[in-house]
Amino acid sequence: MVQFNIKEIINNKLQLIKLLIIVLAVIILISVLYKSSPRSKLGSFKITSSQKSSSEIDPYFNIDILEKIEAKSINSKRDLFRFYQEPPKVSDQPPPPPPVQVVEEKNPVEQIPKEEIQEPPSMMNLKLFGILSRDGKQIFAFISDGNEIYVVTKDNIFANQYKVVYIDEEKIEIMALKNNYKKTLIYTGGKQT
């Protein structure tokens, strides 16, 4: 059970009220001192040149220079208070085409014929061991690259670098995927050509 001590509660409230009164008194004192200071009076009216000179009021402020600057009119296309400015107007006509320069070649370069695609060295090791036909519809070929034997059909990719392009009961055409070189292996029963 929570017990309340009435004397403590009243004592705490009195301390709070005393603190609020002190804060209010300090705020009132500061505002009165500020209003009576010479700086607050300086900003409350406009100084004109007929009154005291600017050097008498503040040695660092010269009204004559300010009036000279205000008298000059500054014509500038930039406006500090207008953030968006319209873009310059664009004409409806397209720009004229660039001038065409005709360059004559004195010694035309002879066209170099494209070199024939050479057989990749890895393709030289391919050997056809046999061809198996199943009902004349499915044809399988047994090919070795020297390390493994692959059983392939048309459009199969094997050894991650070759594709079977054509296959029949006598020959198989293989294409290297890197340079599209094609090689035909012919099965002659035991001899390979």
**What's the confidence (pLDDT) of residue 193?**
46
The CATH number for 137's domain is: 2.30.30.830
Residue 104, in any domain of the structure:
no
Residue 18, in any domain of the structure:
no
Residue 154, in any domain of the structure:
yes
**Residue 184: which domain range?**
121-192
- pLDDT tens profile 118-151: 777 778 888 888 888 887 778 899 998 888 999 9
Average pLDDT, the chain: 76
Residue 24, in any domain of the structure:
no
**How would you class 119 by CB atoms within 10 Å of its CB: exposed for 0-12, middle for 13-18, buried for 19 or more?**
middle
Residue 160, in any domain of the structure:
yes
Torsion-angle region of 10 (φ positive above 0: left; ψ -120 to 50: alpha; else: beta): alpha
Number of structural domains found in the chain: 1
Residue 166, in any domain of the structure:
yes
Q: How far apart are the C-alpha atoms of 180 and 162, rounded to whole Å? A: 9
**What's the confidence (pLDDT) of residue 32?**
87
- pLDDT tens profile 88-105: 777 777 778 888 877 666
Backbone angles phi, psi at 176, to 5 degrees: -75, 130
Residue 28, in any domain of the structure:
no
**What's the confidence (pLDDT) of residue 2?**
56
